[in-house]
Amino acid sequence: MQGFEHIEEELNAMKEEGLFRSLVPIESDQGPKVTIDGQELIQLSSNNYLGLTTHPKMKQAASEAADAYGAGTGSVRTIAGTFSMHEAFERKLAEFKHTEATLVLQSGFTANQAVLSSLLSKEDVVISDELNHASIIDGIRLTKAARKIYRHVDMASLEEALKASQSYRKRLVVTDGVFSMDGNIAPLPEIVELCEKYDALIMVDDAHASGVLGRNGRGTVDHFDLNGRVHIQVGTLSKAIGVLGGYIASTQSVRDYLIHKGRPFLFSTSHPPAVTAACSKAIDILNDEPELIEKLWNNTRFLKDGLEKLGFDTGKSETPITPVVVGDGAKAHELSDRLVKAGVFAQGIAFPTVPKDSARVRTIVTAEHDEAMLQQALDAFEEAGKDLGII
Ligand code: PMP
């Protein structure tokens, strides 16, 4: 069909720069090894931190719920789509997170959009780290509040923004708990101190910390022992929890308000029973099987130390997200392609997801990898890295 010449031009330019990527369909389940195009590859690109996507108890919970309650819910939550299991899960999650209440949304992306588009008005200001996730950036685009950006994890820059914001009714400081492209942890204790000094509210997006940091994976707020001092925690059920969804953990009044004003909550259908039952089972597993998190961190240290010893630049990573920064976008994709040939699936990530000069292959280990798999990955990185002149 004719009429899309303007986007075709852009696509062609991307192809010329080596930045055009096709989607990569997985033919197996999402385990530590996946089958792609008939080839078995070590999976180093998923966010399935604890291996819960395929945990037998998760699969059983999902299939029992589908049998008992059907495949879908047939409505948005506010009309006829709230099942008792949705509310029971939200209460369980609130207890786990040590907050008064939680509200579950379709995804972490929509959870950020719901909060940021609805909780502030034009008398207020939102102050955001420059490297926050795209869903925070898009959420901020929807707010009527004034917006300020501070330099990445730079507390002097945050303080400057807070000082300049004293005339607003409310100040909301937003940060990722763990930054998704670099794997560094936000300096939350310092952020909390500054926010308390300048009377600001704090929101943390813990997508990559839920199930990873804190006691039993409670997240960065718990990791830094800041329970009760962070006003809003947003989390995802799509990464370590192994299923799909996002949530807001905060007060009962924030939950009540979002039920009435959070547009992604109001206008999009609720999670199928299988999703909610599996998410609920994941919280039991976090409580009952802390050895999964221990294994995740052992694997993290093994791969990170190995990559650093080989001479790769792994940036500021402190978590299971370990970037291998190569600079140029086409080179990152070339490294990724070479790894696939050696049996390792680690995706190249380039502009606009990361700045133009810091394209990378991003690795994420899971609790399910074993040392043999990780050693094979290190060997593949070594060979490809040397061939491409990266190390
Ligand atoms: N926040 C951050 C920091 C993320 O990395 C992601 C996932 N890429 C999200 C939010 C969105 O979560 P979900 O995939 O559940 O929509």
Catalytic residue among 239, 271, 295, 369: 239
Among the residue ranges 86-100, 126-140, 340-354, the one predicted with the least confidence is 340-354
User: Across the strands, what pairs with 324?
Assistant: 361
DSSP 299-329: HHHHHHHHHHHHT---TT--SSEEEEEEESH
Structure tokens at 163: 């000082």
* Among the ranges given (31-40, 133-142, 248-257, 348-357), the one the predictor scored with the smallest mean pLDDT: 348-357
pLDDT tens per residue across span 205-221 = 999 999 999 999 999 99
Q: Flag whether pLDDT at 383 surpasses 90.
A: yes
Domain at 56-288: CATH code: 3.40.640.10
Class of the domain covering 20-49+290-387: alpha beta
Angle of CA points 142, 143, 145, to nearest 5° = 150
Between strands 359-364 and 348-349, the pairing is: antiparallel
Q: Measured between alpha carbons, how far is 109 from 3 in angstroms, rounded to an integer?
A: 31
Asked if residue 210 has its Cβ within 6 Å of ligand 1, the reply is no
- Whole-structure pTM value: 0.96
Residue extent(s) of CATH 3.40.640.10 domains in the chain: 56-288
User: What ipTM, to 2 d.p.?
Assistant: 0.98
Tell me the β-bridge partners of 344.
42
Q: What is the DSSP letter of 26?
A: B
Host H or E run for residue 223 = helix 220-223
pLDDT in tens, 259-279: 999 999 999 999 999 999 999
> Cα–Cα distance between 61 and 42 in angstroms, integer?
27
Regarding the beta carbon of 176 and ligand 1, being less than 6 Å apart is answered yes
Read off the pLDDT of residues 358-370 as tens digits, 9 standing for 90 and up.
999 999 999 999 9
- Indicate if 239 belongs to the active site: yes
* Residue 98 to residue 39: CA distance in whole angstroms: 44
Catalytic, out of 148, 208, 304, 369 = 208
- Better pLDDT: 113 or 17: 113
Q: What is the pLDDT of residues 17-41, one digit of tens each?
A: 877 888 999 999 999 999 999 999 9
Site to substitute for ligand 1 among 175, 212, 236, 275, most atoms within 8 A of C-beta: 236
CA angle (267 as vertex; 255, 249 as ends), nearest 5: 20
- Give helix 84-97 / helix 273-288 axis angle, nearest 10°: 30
H or E stretch at 101: strand 101-105
CA–CA distance, 71 with 73 (Å, rounded to integer)? 7
Q: Is 180 a catalytic residue?
A: yes
- Can you give the pLDDT at residue 348? 92
CATH code 3.90.1150.10 region(s) in the chain: 20-49+290-387
Give CA–CA dist 55/59, Å, rounded.
6
Q: What would the pLDDT profile of 124-162 be if each residue is shown by its tens digit?
A: 999 999 999 999 999 999 999 999 999 999 999 999 999
Using only C-alpha atoms, the chain has a radius of gyration, in whole angstroms, of 21
Locate the DSSP E strands across 140-231. 146-150, 171-176, 201-205
One DSSP character per residue, 47-69 reads: --TT-GGG-HHHHHHHHHHHHHH
Give the Å distance between the CA of 17 and the centre of ligand 1.
Answer: 27
Cα of 253 vs centre of ligand 1, distance in Å, is 24
Q: How far apart are CA 160 and CA 156, in angstroms?
A: 6
Pocket probe for ligand 1: among 132, 175, 180, the residue whose CB has the most ligand atoms within 8 Å is: 180
Tokens of residue 281, six digits: 């089972």
Ligand 1 mean position, distance from CA 246 (Å):
8
Query: Which tokens in the block code for residue 312?
Result: 């790769």
